[in-house]
Amino acid sequence: MDVDDIDRGIVAFLRRDGRATFAEIGADVGLSAPATKRRVDRLVASGAISGFAAIVDPAALGWSTEAYVEVSYSGVVSPDRLTADYTAITEVVSAWTVSGVADAVVHVQTRDVRHLEEVIQRIRVLPDVTGTQTEIVLSRLFQRSPD
């Protein structure tokens, strides 16, 4: 699917306010509400927009400890295997394959440090895991959303 500047504007608006009306979005990008709806429907149908979600403050839900855990495996590990390992751990909110010493980096959110320690232990006992390196987030300075 070819995405033009209007589509990019629609996506940027939705990233800032996923609950905006088609009229509000259309006013921003220079389209009528029905034309904006057709564009959004096309973006969804093509997979360019894969869903809509609420952005939640984890601390408001009692998840006050955040960390990034680098995980090393013995041998070669596939992205499918990593996905299976980490989707099974609900405290892992995102994961990436990376270059360097570690095979993966996982972003973990927990209630407290004790809970974090329990999650790290669950990661360490996964088959073929040879080590972890954990960085605890002290404070989030800002988080950008790509437009």
CATH code of the domain occupying 5-46: 1.10.10.10
Per the DSSP assignment, residues forming a β-bridge with 73 are: 129
Report yes or no: 10 and 40 within 8 Å, Cβ to Cβ.
yes
- Region 61-74: mean pLDDT is 95
Angle at CA of residue 17, ends 13 and 90, nearest 5°: 120
Q: Is the pLDDT of residue 145 over 70?
A: no
Residue range(s) of every CATH 3.30.70.920 domain in the chain? 58-136
- Region 41-68: mean pLDDT is 90
- At 1, the pLDDT band (50, 70, 90 cuts) reads confident
Candidate CATH numbers 3.20.20.10, 3.30.70.920, 3.30.450.20, 3.40.190.120; the one for domain 58-136: 3.30.70.920
Q: What is the pTM of this model?
A: 0.75
**Burial of 85 (C-beta count, 10 Å sphere; 0-12/13-18/19+):** buried
- At 147, the pLDDT band (50, 70, 90 cuts) reads low
How are beta strands 92-97 and 104-110 bridged, if at all?
A: antiparallel
Residue range(s) of every CATH 1.10.10.10 domain in the chain? 5-46
Q: Average pLDDT, whole number, for the chain?
A: 93
Helices 5-16, 33-46: inter-axial angle, 10-degree rounding: 90
